[in-house]
Structure formats: C-alpha cells, structure tokens
Structure 1
C-alpha cells in the first residue's frame, strides 16, 4: 500500500457532548473513563474513529455503542488538535454536540450503560480538554438557538410554555419576564395549542403545545424576537 514517507501517524477520536433538559435545568451525560490514564475520572463519551468510517459514522457508532441511542440530533462542533491534549499518544479529537430528550431515554441510559446525568452548573472536573469542549458547545447552542428552534429537540413532542421559558433561561443564564416571553413566543405563530393540560405542576394546569415544524424553517428570524442581545451570539 502506498503511504506518505517520513510522516508520523496519529489517532483520530470523536467526543460526544450530550446535552439533556429535564424540564427545569440542563444536564450533561458523562461516563467514568475505563482506561488509563485518568481511569475512573469523568469523561465525555468518546472513542476512536475506525479506518473504514468517516467522522459522522464514527460519532453515530460511538453514541450508539456507549448509550444505545440513535436517531438523535447531533452535529459536528470543532476539532481539537493540541499536541499535548492526550498524554499517551498524539490524538486529534473531533467534538460533536448531541441533544437528547431526557424523559424519553433517561431510564435506558442509566440502567443499561452506566452513564450519569450531571447538572451543567455542578458538573465534575473532566479529563483532558473536555471541559473546554463543553464550554464551546454551550456557546454554539446559544448561537444556534438565536436563529431557529433547535432547543426543541430537548423537549417532548408536547410541551408547556413554562418548560420553554425554563429552557431558554437556562441556556442564556438570564431572567425573562414570563408574560412578555410568552407573548413574544406565541407571536411567532410557530406553535400549535393542544386541548389537554399538564396538571402535575399546578392545580390550574398549563396547556400543552406542539412545534409546527412545517412553518419554522421559513420563519427562522421569528426566534430573534425573544433572545436577549442576539447580536452577541450572532457575532461570536
């Protein structure tokens, strides 16, 4: 087989930054590393890309192998190539962001794959440069969410306005006036009100809504109406 002479081989890894939302706050899915160095320390879910697969295929396989999940929202974030990022061998890591509905998958992930959800505000120290990956992923989510309803991947098919309110407050780490937020949200005309209510949170209950996916692709700018200082995220 023809090879480039005089070149050093290096490994390519994929690390998956998996965000979830439990209805109140954001969480990050982590595992304890099973190999040295940093064995038993908390890590993003990751693995090495195989010779017969491209990066996306590797990310999908790793996510499936480590969580049992497939058909979830996932996109490539960034490539991390510091020569000193892995003390064992020169390893280039390609980070992916995945969004998961915790209510749909929590039991399966926790029981079968020994993964654990951590609140973003209280996550443990992570190995290597995984903490940097998480911070970059949060910035990417803020940017994307200022353009279109990406965050609804984190919610069940039917959701309440209080859940959406908490979803955006948690991501942007700011306080929205609830009445004004709901008014702007509904003014986008991207939501279909349901006849039933969620009654666990209060006696009065809150109506469920669904995202009208047939409309939002042609009305992305509507979401800029209620994002705080959207220019900050569009220019970052």
Structure 2
C-alpha cells in the first residue's frame, strides 16, 4: 500500500460521545446531575449523562439531545469543557468523548429516560467511583465551575433579586468548598466596580443586625477577580 493512502479496513471501530457535567446548588450543597446506567457496560453504576453522537448531528446538538433524553433537563447553556480520548476509556471500542459543563440555579428534578435507569442530583462530596472515566471528567468540571466564580458574576445568579453579602458568600463557600472570612469577602466583592449594586434596603433574615441588600450589577467579568486564596 502506498504511504499515506488508507482504506476503511485499516482503522478499528471508532466512535464519538458527549458527556455532561451539570452542576447546581441544592440543599446547601454543590450537586452534580448523575444517571444510573441501565445497560452494559457498567450496568447499575452511576455516570454522567451522555451518549453517542449520531452520524448526522453535531457534538453540540448531541449534548443537548442526550441531556433531555436521559434526564429531562432542557434549555441549559452548555460550554465545552475538554476532550477525553484515552485508548481504553470505554471497553466497547475506541471512544473519544467531548465533555460539556453547565452551572445554573433552580434546575428541576431530573426524570430518567432512554438507557438511564435513574437520574438524580447528588452532592459532589458524596460522589464515589463513577463509570468509565467520569470521575475524572466530573472533577475537571467542578474545578472549571469554581474558577468561573473567580472571574465572572455567575455567583449572583444563585441569589434572589435582592441579597446580602452573607448570602452571596454562602454560594461561594458551597461551590468552592471552603469557609471564607466574612470581612475580607465583603471588602473584596464590594470593591469590584459594577459587581454589586446597593438597593438602599436592609434585611434581618441573616440574623443579628440588619444587613444591606444588593442586586446584581451589569458587569459580567470581574476585575480584579475573586481569587480563592485571597477571598
């Protein structure tokens, strides 16, 4: 055979899949959307939602379709996280997966469908070994989500229309998984121009003295960012 000329028979079976890291804050915990596999391989094991990309669809379209089919969750903004292509990551054949990430508030209770036997929100801290290499993908997605709170105003989306700095701090503590110094955090977030806008009102719902109420500002990218080690 001439160098650089190949026939289809020269290549082993090969497929492309999508995997979805969908995160939200529920019951004071950072939770991941997981499905229990209803078929082999890894029958009965928890996994990330996802599946094979069909011949006539893009990977973006496949990600949205698989999310709806396996969990009933729709309408999320999905961003590509990374590509995973270790040769033996799937026992069926050579599979390359494009992973996606979504971090959003007020997500509904999932409803299992297609080849998923169950679907549920599971606290990230309670997730054990997942099917395939999904534990690694989930860890990468959680780290990306934590980084997004450093440089974007995403954290305010998990608060109400009006909120206190303490309520916003709790969102950061849940997603970052660390306790934060209240005074230092207050100084940091109120020092970022355009991040928080005072409403002029106060509330006592946090307990103690009345606390000032804020709403989300117009800025989308924080400058300077809220670096975890300094917040």
For Structure 1 versus Structure 2, the TM-score category normalised by the shorter chain is: 0.7 to 0.9
CA contact (8 A) 1:149 1:223 kept: no
Larger radius of gyration: 2
CA contact (8 A) 2:13 2:93 kept: no
Q: Distance in 2 between matches of 1:198 and 1:89?
A: 58
Which residue of 161, 167, 171 corresponds with 1:163? 167
**Aligned residue runs from structure 1 range 184-223, under 5 A:** 184-188=188-192, 189-194=194-199, 195=201, 197=203, 199=205, 202=207, 208-212=213-217, 214-217=218-221, 220-223=222-225
Map of 1:66 onto structure 2: 70
Where does structure 2 lack aligned partners over 5 or more consecutive residues? 1-5
Between structures 1 and 2, the one with greater helix share: 1
Q: Residues 155 and 202 from structure 1, CA distance in 2 versus in 1: closer, same or farther, beyond 3 angstroms?
A: same
Shift of 1:131: 0.4
Which residue of 95, 105, 108 corresponds with 2:107? 105
More displaced, 109-118 or 160-169?
109-118
CA contact (8 A) 1:13 1:47 kept: yes
Give SS of 1:77's match: strand
TM-score by length of 1: 0.79
Q: Residues 127 and 71 from structure 1, CA distance in 2 versus in 1: closer, same or farther, beyond 3 angstroms?
A: same
CA contact (8 A) 1:198 1:207 kept: no
1:95 aligns with 2:99: yes
Where does structure 1 lack aligned partners over 5 or more consecutive residues? 231-236
For each residue in 1:70-114, what CA deviation from the matched residue of structure 2 results, as whole angstroms up to 9, or x when unmatched? 33232111111111111122211111111131xx233x4269994
Q: Distance in 1 between matches of 2:220 and 2:146?
A: 18
RMSD: 2.9
**Aligned residue runs from structure 1 range 141-152, under 5 A:** 141-152=145-156
How many residue pairs match? The answer is 220
TM-score by length of 2: 0.80
For each residue in 1:22-80, what CA deviation from the matched residue of structure 2 results, as whole angstroms up to 9, or x when unmatched? 26221111111111121111111111111121111111121222233333232111111
Shift of 1:204: 6.1
